[in-house]
Amino acid sequence: MIKKEVSRPVGVATIAIALLLFATVIFFANETITEISFSGKTPAPKEVKDKDDYVSDYEELSKEEVLSVKDATNQFAIDIYKKLREEENIFFSPYSIFTAFSMAYEGAKGETAVQIREAFNFSEDDRLRRMGSRQIHQMLSKENDNYELGVGNAMWMQKNYDLLESFTDVVENYYLSEAHLLNFIDNPEGSRETINDWVAGKTNDLIEELLPERSISVDTRVVLTNAIYFKGDWKDEFDEDLTRNEDFYVTPKETVEVPMMRRTEETYEYYKNDDVQVLRLPYKGDELSMVVVLPKDKNISALEDSLTLEKRNYWRENLFSTDVDVYLPKFELDTDYNLIDYLRQMGVNDAFIEGLADFSGIEPERELFISGAIHDAFIKVDEKGTEAAAATGVVFDRESASMSEIFRADHPFLFFIEEDETGYILFMGKVGRP
């Protein structure tokens, strides 16, 4: 994993905020350097048609069918987490990665399609896959007065490079993707900046350079992007005056000092067994929550070894309301991943190999292969602003004489950000060193 420094606006986090920003990009290159050239600067994006006027070829999915699409995404979240687990801190959006590669899958054929489908659990049923993407996009894009949640897809194409209309129509109409023409051949750097500007706009300027320098070349022909932005207040915010520095056990023998937030004798949904404690922290509006999974014996590796989607579903289905004393560290994670390395471990190979990749559903000559797949993610969790820890000098703990459960996240833990009704995993991560 490559870390990069990104400038952050001052004072972005305000009251009880979690900020999550993701962008996933897939870019396709031609197999040989083209001799065709076009003069002029990067053209302005073409006008995007109104998706609300589109009449689908398929009937809308039932609730049960939408849940099956959700299950595929959630299974992918667990599968790719297992490939990322050696990282000390992990943060990613399975929704973002799943959606970007679902768009790419629409143009894949033969063994390339088989490998992508098996890694991502994509349905072979076009109606289920396409309408599921469309309906989930619409669900996540609905306006809400309690939090901000926005998603966006875009397809960036070399001008005068013919793509199959059957592909572009599906991506625009079922993935609600914007469609833009760029001049990668004459102006790869300007094209890169245009795409990065789009991503920055979709993520409130917190991901400013998804595509690093030289990631776009004269051979680039198509770029697919997905971005998601979330900003929400806790339903019950933490009191910054109760935040104090405490030890966090990175390992059973190594500690680091972290600002630990706390809320005591409050009612939460909670579950425990011999191995884990699970806590749901709802965001304002009661539609989204952070679910924190804390291993009881400080052994995050054992939790990761045994983690399955079935276990995660069982935990959330067996939450019950009880009084809990919550101790949760403030944390901020900024990650980016070269997805090709991890997807190869999951069996996706041909898509990345010149001459083997078959994206003849995008253009019929089989010239394209995936030359890059990048995922950026950022999260900031606090109680009441960016300066909270500085004002917490003199706080006295009482002894725990109550009957409340104690949820003390002072060692590595997993967390999910999910949609409450369906359990759809939008974001997943691990805090190993806050």
Flag whether pLDDT at 385 surpasses 70: no
**Count of C-beta atoms within a 10 Å radius of residue 346:** 18
- Residue 195 and residue 65 in one domain: yes
Task: Compute the average pLDDT of residues 301-313.
Answer: 96
228 and 251 inside one domain: no
Residue 392 lies in a domain: no
What is the residue-averaged pLDDT of the chain? 84
Least confident of 55-64, 85-94, 189-198, 340-349: 55-64
Q: Are residues 95 and 54 in the same domain?
A: yes
Decide: 185 and 157 in contact? Cβ < 8 Å: no
Q: Does pLDDT of 10 surpass 60?
A: no
> Is-contact 298 348, C-beta < 8 A?
no
- CATH of residue 314's domain is 2.30.39.10
Does residue 1 lie within any of the structural domains?
A: no
Give the Cα separation of 138 and 173 in Å (integer): 12
**pLDDT one-digit tens code per residue, 140-185:** 998 889 988 889 999 999 999 889 999 999 999 999 999 999 999 9
Q: Could you say which DSSP state residue 219 is in?
A: T
Query: 278 lies in a domain?
Result: yes
Residues 156 and 88 placed together within one structural domain of the fold = yes
Asked whether residue 128 falls in the same domain as residue 250, the answer is no
Indicate if 67 and 50 belong to the same structural domain: yes
Please, which residues have CB within 8 angstroms of residue 17's CB and are 6 or more apart in sequence?
A: 231, 232, 233, 380, 381, 382
Asked if pLDDT for residue 381 goes beyond 60, the answer is yes
Is the pLDDT assigned to residue 41 strictly greater than 60?
Answer: no
Give, in order, the Cα–Cα distances in Å from 314 to each of 68, 254, 346.
17, 32, 25
Whole-number pLDDT of residue 56: 66
User: Is 10 within the bounds of a domain?
Assistant: no
Q: What is the pLDDT of residue 8?
A: 36
Q: Considering the domain boundaries, does residue 388 fall inside one?
A: no
| 129 and 159 inside one domain | yes
The answer to whether 109 and 358 have CB atoms below 8 angstroms apart is: yes
Verify that 31 and 178 share a domain, yes or no: yes
Do residues 338 and 222 share a domain? yes
Q: 135: domain CATH number?
A: 3.30.497.10
Are 1 and 204 spatial neighbours (Cβ–Cβ below 8 Å)?
no
Using DSSP's 3-state secondary structure scheme, residue 259 falls into: strand
Q: Is residue 12 part of a domain?
A: no
Provide the sign of the torsion angle of the four alpha carbons 169, 173, 176, 178, taken in this order.
positive
Q: What average pLDDT does range 337-364 have in this prediction?
A: 93
**Same domain membership, residue 214 and residue 280:** no
> How many H helices and E strands in the chain?
9, 15
Length of the chain in terms of residues written: 434
Q: Which residue has the higher pLDDT, 361 or 390?
A: 361
Q: Could you list the residue range(s) of the whole structural domain that residue 356 is in?
A: 17-232+332-380
Closest by CA to 245, choosing from 255, 260, 229, is: 260
Mean pLDDT of 222-228: 91
pLDDT band at residue 21, thresholds of 50, 70 and 90?
low
271 and 416 both lie in a single domain = yes
3-state secondary structure of 92: strand
Q: Would you say residue 4 lies in a domain?
A: no
Taking each helix axis from N to C end, the angle separating 110-120 and 63-84, rounded to the nearest 10 degrees, works out to 90
Residues 264 and 210 in one domain: no
Q: Could you tell me if residue 391 is inside a domain?
A: no
CA 389 to chain centre: 28
Total domains in the chain come to: 2
Residue 26: the pLDDT is 80
Greater model confidence, 318 or 48: 318
Integer Cα distance of 208 and 211 in angstroms: 9
Residue 291, SS3 per DSSP: strand
Return all residues near 405 (Cβ < 8 A) that are at least 6 apart.
270, 272, 277, 322, 323, 324, 325
Q: How confident is the model at residue 48 (pLDDT cuts 50, 70, 90)?
A: very low
